Structure 1
C-alpha cells in the first residue's frame, strides 16, 4: 500500500470523525477506507483509533501519528503548489466563503466574469456570516468584512464599506430624531449580533470619539433582517452602505447623525498562510480587488 495514501486516508478519517465521512470526502467506499486504516495499523503494529459503535477517537499513538501525517501532507501540498505556481496555470476547484448579504449584493454579479476569464477554474461558494476556519473547513479563500485583528491568515484589503446609522421616517416621527450619539442609548436599536464591537457603538465626530452603549430591542446575525425590521419602523440600525444604500436613495430609510461616522470596515480577501500562493487563489484576489475598486466610486456616491 502507498504510504502517502495511508496517511491521506488516516488524516481524512480523523478530520471527518468517521469512516463514512472520510469515504465521502475521498471518493472511496467505506470498506476501502476501513481496510486501509486497518492495514496501516497492522504495518505499524499499533492501534491508532479507538472504535465504538457510536464514535471514533485517537489513541495516544494516533494523536502523535496524525500530526506527522498532516506535516507530510502539507509538505507535499506546498511542493505541488510551488510547481503549479511556476507553471502559472490557474486551474482546479476554488472553495470560497463570503458573508451572505455582501455575497449576494456585491459578489454575485462578479462571478460570471471571473468564470469567463478563467475557464479552467471551478467555483464552490458558501455564503455565511460566521467566520469560518479556512484550514479546518477546507476553504481556499474567505471574503471578510471587519476591522481586522491579528490573524494567522494572510489578508489583502480589496475594498471598504461605510457604516450607516439610519431609521425609517415613520420611526423618527414617532420617537424623535437623535441629535447626538449618546441619545441612541434610549432608542430602539436593531443590532447585528456578529458586530465585533458588540453593543458599544463608536462614532467619530466634532468632539472626537464617542462610544455609546446601546440596548438592542432585537439582535440577529443577518444584516438584511436588521434592514427589514427597520423598514417596518421598529428601530435604528447601523449597517453597511451596500445593504441600505437603495433605501437611503428611495427615502424609505434616513441617515442619522451624518456628522458622526462609525469607522469604515475593510473588505478583505483572506487565505491560509502559505509560502506559495496557488495561482487560482492569486487570480481571484486580483480580480476581486480590481472589480470592487472599480465599483467603489459608484457605491460611495449612493
Structure 2
C-alpha cells in the first residue's frame, strides 16, 4: 500500500472519530479503511487506534503520529501545488542547440524576444556545427537542417532554407559574371559543407533542372568563414539567403543567376519523443514556429 495514502486515511479517521465516517467521506469501504490503518500499525509495530464497537480513539502513540502525518500531508499538498503552478505557466531553464551561424545571427536575437515574452524562462543556447545528441547532452530542443531520420525525436516543420549564389563585386570585376549555371564550372566556387557536402550544385530555371560540377579550391566548415572569404573576393558562394541578406542589401555581395533557384533544404525544430511537454517547451516550440514557420 502507499504510505502517504494510508497516512491520509488515518488522519481522516482520527478527525472524524470512526472508520464508517471516514469510509463515507473517502468513498472507500470500512474494510479498506481498516486495511490502511493495519498497514501503518504493522509498519510501526504498534497500535495507533483503540477500537470499540461504538467509537475509535487514538492511542498515545497515535496522537503523536497524527501530528507528524498532518505535517507530512501538508508538505505533500504544498509540493503538489508548487508543481501545478510550475506546470501552468512557462518557467525554468531551456537548453537549445543549433548551428553556429544560424544561432548567432538569427536565433540569439529571436530568443531575446522570447525571454521578454516569458520573463520566468531562461535559455542556454548551445552553438555547434556538429550533430549533437539531444538525449545524451540533456537538451530540450534543437533546430536542424535536413530530413529527420531519428525515430526518438518529435519535430515541427519550419520554413525551408533557400540558397543564393553570390559573389563580391571585386571578384566579378576580375573574373566576369556568369549568365548560366553551367558557366560556374569555369569559376572559383567556395565550398561550405554545412550547406551541401556534394560538389554538384543543382539549379531550377527556365530550361529545367541543371546540375553543375563545381571546383572548390577553398573549403571552409564554418558559415561565417565562408561568408568572409566571399566578401574578400575569393570566389562564388552558395549559401542560405538569411546569412547573406545584409551583405546583398549593402552591395557587398551581388546575387548571381537571378532566373535560377537552388534546391531548398528542410528545416525543423525537434525534441525528444519521451520528453514531457512542459509549458516552457511548448512555449518555445510555438515561438520558433511563429518566427520561422
Q: What CA distance in whole angstroms lies between the structure 2 residues aligned with 1:202 and 1:151? A: 27
Residues 132-211 of structure 1 mapped to structure 2, 5 A cutoff: 132-144=132-144, 146-152=145-151, 153-211=153-211
Unpaired runs of at least 5, structure 1 = 1-82, 294-302
Deviation at 1:179, TM superposition (A): 2.0
Indicate the residue corresponding to 2:268 in structure 1: 268
Between 1:256-265 and 1:108-117, the stretch displaced more is 108-117
Q: What's the counterpart of residue 131 of structure 1?
A: 131
| Structure 2 counterpart SS, 1:242 | helix
3-state DSSP class of the match of 1:112?
helix
TM-score, normalized by length of structure 2?
Answer: 0.66
Deviation per CA, 1:165-201, whole angstroms, max 9, x where unpaired? 0101221121121122122222111111233442221
**What is residue 117 of structure 1 aligned with on the other side?**
117
Counterpart-to-counterpart distance in 2, 1:284 and 1:96 = 10
Q: For residues 289 and 264 of structure 1, what CA distance do their matches in structure 2 show? A: 18
SS class of match (1:244): helix
**Structure 1 CA distance for aligned equivalents of residues 109 and 238 of structure 2:** 25
| Superposition misfits of 4+ residues, deviation over 6 angstroms | 83-86
- Residues paired across the two proteins, number: 211
Instruction: State how 1:1-302 maps to structure 2 within 5 Å.
Output: 87-144=87-144, 146-152=145-151, 153-274=153-274, 276-293=276-293
Output the aligned Cα RMSD: 2.4
Native 8 Å contact 2:87 2:278 kept in 1: no
1 CA distance for matches of 2:228 and 2:84? 46
Alignment gaps of 5+ in structure 2: 1-82
SS of 1:217's partner is coil
Assess if the C-alpha contact under 8 Å between 1:84 and 1:279 holds in 2: no
Q: Is the 8 A contact 1:188 1:217 kept in 2?
A: yes
Q: Per-residue CA shift, 1:50-74, capped at 9, x if unaligned?
A: xxxxxxxxxxxxxxxxxxxxxxxxx
